[in-house]
A and B are shown apart, each in its own frame.
Chain A
Amino acid sequence: MKITPLKITVEGLELAFGDLPVLDGVSFDVAPGEFVSILGPSGCGKSTLFGVLAGLVEPDRGRVLVDGAPAGRETFGYMPQKDLLFPWRTVLDNTTLGLEVAGMRRREARDRARDLFGPFGLAGFERSRPAELSGGMRQRAALLRTVVQDREVLLLDEPFGALDSLTRTAMQEWLEEVRGRFGWTVLLITHDIREAVFLSDRVLVLSPRPAHVAREVRIDLPRPREVGVLTDPAFAAAEAELLDTLRGGTRL
């Protein structure tokens, strides 16, 4: 269901909130089908960066390109930290929100979203209320709401941050599996080094605020990845390298 993804280029993004510089020349690119994680100390501007990509905040300088042309708001599918499932909508109608906002007929939108309920482990919960879902299911519903919009790149802002560690691990495995199946291009913000290494092709480490890309680590582990990969020496090496970078960059 994914259209051919395009190459995304982020060039020299700069942004200040008043006197407070937040982004200081953030540049990177994302290849089609690539999974890139963004790690960085708390408050370094990760979520602001996503705000710029999602078209919610105008940068002071710099640009975002899709295959050389300026990206529009419809390039990125944004999944915020909170699931933001609305209690007044059923789970199915929550997942069709983006399509409805884009003007699609409700019936068509429902048909499209319904097709994904199986792969997302939500089959049978179409008519439930969000309050009836577990934490992991709520996150999957929120991700479904993002994915069904069929955007070039998914922006996932700490999607598993609020889950307990068992559920989180299960969700990471699940995400690795479905992403491989659908071939999504993903940008993920996370605090969790292990999560970043497990899921990513590349990990970008941001500096403390004002943020720029301080380091880029390529994760050369075979896919599809399963929990066994956690004990791979290459995995441990990547984790150690990222931890070192983060520590070195954090002024305590």
Chain B
Amino acid sequence: MTRADRVLAEPGSPPPALPGRAGRSPARRPARGRVSLLRRAAPPVLVVLLLLAAWQWAVTALAVRPQVLPSPLRVVEQGWAFRDVLWANTLPTLQVTAVGFAVSLAVGWALAVVVDFSPWLRRALVPLLVASQTLPIIAIAPLMIIWFGFGLLPKVLVIALVTFFPIAVGLIEGFSRADPEASNLLRSMGGGRWAEFRYVRLPGALPSFFTALRIAITYAVTGAIFAEYVGARAGLGIYMAQQKNSFRTDLVLAAVGVTALVSVALFGLTYLVERVVAPWIRGARR
């Protein structure tokens, strides 16, 4: 309960520092970044805490059996008690996600570049890309196990299939968003199609690439879980499946919580990568 108290205390503390007009005075400026972060973090934290409190109350008041719906406190408690097993299953999931996402990035970039250079291939491939997204993963994933076994490959394929599309589309659109006048400028300088790509289209596509990356990365972890759920030796997905079968709903939900944390962390990581690879984007978006 102490942790919840501490977290609950936070949303209460900012108001004194909040008034925007006071923050505008030069003396207070250094505190501003922290204030705005708290200000942004407070609403979602508050909402989550309210929902958890309501859940806790409902489970206790209605005396729901934990096999059906455990209380959030029980989920945290049991998750902590089984932290070793959870961690041991998180690692393989992270590994699969990383490999799958790397494959997806490579495929997405290759397709987008090829399509950017060849109008013919654009016409040929783009409909296929779209069609690939209509494949019902829920039916394909078990088949992958039949075809490729319980190893890394079927999972990597599922992740790549789910995530390469936003990356490829984000890049293709990013490339073609280049200002035609910038292309003219490059040509007047004596540059060919490659120079145009290198100096204009490629850097110009980075903002939409990073947007696509954020969408794709959130699919990646879910894709990994799904692939594992169908069949794996270890991983959060298969762990959830096993715990469900032994009616440990609390541990299923604890694994769900870990999945969410991992996804959010990877999502945050994309901003870090963006900051390193293309620091100018932040300034340009403002």
* CB <8 Å contact, A84 and B188: no
Residue A5, interface by CB 8 Å: no
The dominant DSSP class at the A interface is loop
- Measured as residues with beta carbon below 8 angstroms from the partner, the interface class of chain B is 20 to 34
* CB <8 Å contact, A101 and B186: yes
* CB <8 Å contact, B283 and A129: yes
Interface hub of A73, A76, A78, A97 (most chain B Cβ within 10 A): A97
* CB <8 Å contact, B284 and A87: yes
Contacts of B190 in A (CB 8 A): 73-74, 98, 101-102
Interchain CB contact (< 8 A) of B284 among A77, A80, A131: A131
Residue A92, interface by CB 8 Å: no
* CB <8 Å contact, B187 and A55: yes
In residues 194-244 of chain B, which contact A (Cβ within 8 Å)? 195, 199-200, 203-204, 206
Interchain CB contact (< 8 A) of B179 among A77, A84, A102: A84
Contacts of A78 in B (CB 8 A): 184-185, 188
* CB <8 Å contact, A51 and B280: no
The dominant DSSP class at the B interface is helix
* CB <8 Å contact, A56 and B189: no
Interface hub of A78, A87, A129 (most chain B Cβ within 10 A): A87
* CB <8 Å contact, B184 and A97: no
Task: Give, as a whole number of angstroms, the nearest-CB distance from A15 to chain B.
Answer: 16
Residue A88, interface by CB 8 Å: yes
- Measured as residues with beta carbon below 8 angstroms from the partner, the interface class of chain A is 20 to 34
Interchain CB contact (< 8 A) of A80 among B184, B195, B200, B283: B184
Residue A86, interface by CB 8 Å: yes
* CB <8 Å contact, A56 and B199: no
Identify the closest chain B residue to A98 (Cβ): B189
Known A-B contacts A87-B284, A131-B283; A51 and B191 likewise in contact (beta carbons under 8 Å)? no
In residues 155-188 of chain B, which contact A (Cβ within 8 Å)? 179, 181-182, 184-188
In residues 130-169 of chain A, which contact B (Cβ within 8 Å)? 131, 149
Residue B278, interface by CB 8 Å: yes
A76 to B182, CA, bound (A): 16
A129 to B278, CA, bound (A): 13
A16 to B33, CA, bound (A): 58
Task: Give, as a whole number of angstroms, the nearest-CB distance from B204 to chain A.
Answer: 8
A98 to B184, CA, bound (A): 12
23 contacts between A and B (CB under 8 A): A55-B187, A56-B187, A56-B188, A73-B187, A73-B188, A76-B188, A80-B181, A82-B179, A84-B182, A86-B182, A86-B199, A86-B200, A88-B203, A88-B206, A88-B280, A98-B190, A101-B191, A101-B195, A101-B199, A102-B189, A129-B280, A131-B283, A149-B189
